[in-house]
Amino acid sequence: MDAISVIRTKRDRGRLSDAQIDWVIDAYTRGEVADEQMSALAMAILLNGMEREEIARWTAAMIASGERMDFSSLPRPTADKHSTGGVGDKITLPLAPLVAACGAAVPQLSGRGLGHTGGTLDKLESIPGWRALLSNDEMMDVLRSVGAVICAAGDGLAPADKKLYALRDVTGTVEAIPLIASSIMSKKIAEGTGSLVLDVKVGSGAFMKNLEDARELASTMVGLGTDHGVRTVALLTDMSTPLGLTAGNALEVRESVEVLAGGGPADVVELTLALAREMLDAAGLPDADPAKALADGSAMDHWRRMVAAQGGDPDAPLPTARERHTVTASASGTLTRLDAYAVGVAAWRLGAGRARKEDPVQAGAGVELHAKPGDRVTAGAPLLTLHTDTPERFDYALEALAGDAIGIADTASAEPTPLILDRIA
């Protein structure tokens, strides 16, 4: 078999055979297929798509490129969650200990932020001493003792995906839905969880800008999970406005702790509980009550134990930025728009995010919101507070918030967009 024949098959809108898929993934992982050849194949997939059977086989081949984890020895059913990424999306932080407090085990393998979307590991690393890198044995120990772990995926899980993802990032093929779906699901299936809940974001701050594309991605991923024996469900959730009132690493940890303490912004609480109920139902624990676990302090107890088990100090003060700048409302009225993408870019430019995976981030940088769409605001009152250690970044961040990123009207706008847009199972 050779790379050129595989490329030509997909270029000419043909269906790749199982043998072709198995060979090209294995050969690319070993370096026998060159980057330029895999780039051509990825572009052909972007332009011509793949059938469900092709995507399932492609995903299986990426899983087979590395190791698979096994949680069958745990005394609890396992449930995991994956978000396609957004602005202020700190949901994993309160969600994992909450679901653990209700009786499931949560092996949450998470990633770092890139561009305007934040990364769960970056947020947690703002906690003094906390470690993202755990061995498989350490991960199992935390799951047995606490019930939840949030850590980085090891290099042994789906190495083909790691190599292909980096290539797609620089060849304009990130948007290919078959490749997005197989990238996410190969890692999650290899991780070994028994059930999976997907949070597919829709809107300006999300990768999927419209509901139609989000439904296609969600349906593809749910199908992949089902085909591989993982009970999978997806919620489509709004990302036109940031989640909660913060976007930035330590800022979001602080807000997550507020949720675990029984407070926090209403939208963060709503989505955390909705995803918790889906995870518990998928894990075979439909009668568990996550709202009760938030109210009685058991979720907070699991959070503190989880942080401590990974070397962190749950009582240590979180980092704060040295410099702040307040953005005030330009007029009195109803806040009708606070664009998620603009806020995410502003937080990124302040130092909360990175342009390349190896770039450092500032733990205290980010954007704090003082109002959300639908709230009444007064001219001159604080609307946003920008946080950074490097004040020369303020002007660059403010550029992202210019134009139509913020909207204020004299009268109240129409009913706000619901947070949960659809459910696919």
Q: Where, residue-wise, is CATH 3.40.1030.10 in the chain?
A: 80-154+187-309
Q: Where, residue-wise, is CATH 3.90.1170.30 in the chain?
A: 323-409
Q: Are 218 and 420 in contact (CB under 8 A)?
A: no
Residue-level pLDDT at 111? 86
Query: Is CATH 1.20.970.10 what the domain over 3-49 is classified as, yes or no?
Result: yes
254, amino acid identity: R
Give the domain 80-154+187-309 fold: Pyrimidine Nucleoside Phosphorylase; Chain A, domain 2 (3.40.1030)
Give the closest residue to 169 by CA, choosing from 131, 115, 208. 115
Residue-level pLDDT at 358? 74
Residue-level pLDDT at 413? 63
Q: Where, residue-wise, is CATH 1.20.970.10 in the chain?
A: 3-49
- CATH H-level, domain 323-409: superfamily: Pyrimidine nucleoside phosphorylase-like, C-terminal domain (3.90.1170.30)
Angle value at C-alpha 233, between 230 and 237, nearest 5 degrees: 145
Under-50 pLDDT residues of the chain: none
Q: Which residues are designated catalytic?
A: 82, 161, 168, 183, 187
Give the closest residue to 401 by CA, choosing from 412, 415, 385. 385
pTM: 0.93
